[in-house]
Amino acid sequence: MRNTPFTFHFSPFTFRLSLFIFLFSLLFFHFSFFSFHSLHAQEVFDFTIPEPPGRTLAPDEPEEIPRQFRELFLGQSMDELQSALVRDGLFRFRGERDVSFLPVRNETMVETTGLSFVRRAYFQLADGAVYIMSFTLDTRLMDHYSVFTSFVRKYGEPVSLSPQEAVWESDDTRVSIERPLTVKYVDKTVFSRLVEDAETQQGQGIIAREEFLADF
């Protein structure tokens, strides 16, 4: 008897089914392998890196809050103020033309233009002494960030910070950097006294008004 070779024939459907099962098995194995390693890696390496501590420009021992800018300072008399403005080449002080009297508050105002970094400067005097100094800087030559960081490096972080101003304070002095770019020095003791006097006068004015109306 002759041996007849055995042959096996794939139908088109059987071939496609086998190919689909093979590809599906390969894809399942590939997905399972990488999922396992991904979970294993997550268990090993999933941790939070702590952020570095925040840095500050403030010194460990900041300087006292200033009451002076160049030769100009709070508590200065009118004669001292005018002499200092004449000597300082940063200002175009014109003498008496830049001085005005505020009769309502019994105060004196000195307003002068500046050169270079200072556009204008204002000084308010009560009882013959400066209690407010204000310097408006030229934003074309100086920027808010530079002035602010310079203050922080010398005087520490401000006690108050808002979009409008940054404030440094001591017992008797308040210094602020106001936007767009004005540096203001205030004698807190004198300013508080003037506010109290104004409130007292206002209260007396209300009493006088009521007394006047009662006469009708």
pLDDT digits (tens, 9 = 90+) for 145-167: 999 999 999 999 999 999 999 99
Residue 115 pLDDT? 87
Lowest mean pLDDT among 109-113, 115-119, 206-210: 206-210
Residue 56 pLDDT? 74
Residue 6 pLDDT? 46
Short-list 186, 149, 152, CA closest to 169: 186
Rounded distance between C-alpha atoms, residue 140 and residue 207, angstroms: 51
- Average pLDDT value for residue range 166-195: 95
Task: Name the helix (H) or strand (E) containing 148.
Answer: helix 144-155
Rounded distance between C-alpha atoms, residue 173 and residue 203, angstroms: 28
If you average pLDDT over every residue of the chain, what do you get? Answer: 80
Check whether 101 has a pLDDT greater than 50: yes
Residue 215 pLDDT? 65
Residue 58 pLDDT? 82
In sequence order, the 6+-apart residues with CB closer than 8 A to the CB of 65 are: 155, 168, 169, 170, 173, 174, 175
Which residue is associated with the tokens 């894809």?
Answer: 27
Residue 141 pLDDT? 95
Residue 216 pLDDT? 66
Residue 5 pLDDT? 52
Check whether 23 has a pLDDT greater than 70: no
Gyration radius of the chain's alpha carbons: 39
Instruction: At 94, list the tokens.
Output: 């014109």
- The residue among 111 and 208 whose pLDDT is bigger is 111
pLDDT tens-digit readout, 24-81: 565 545 545 445 444 444 444 444 555 555 567 888 889 999 999 999 999 999 999 9
Residue 59 pLDDT? 87
| Contact call for residues 155 and 60 (beta carbons, < 8 A) | no
- Residue 63 sits at the vertex; the CA angle it makes with 60 and 66, to the nearest 5 degrees, is 155
pLDDT tens-digit readout, 115-144: 889 999 999 999 999 999 999 999 999 999
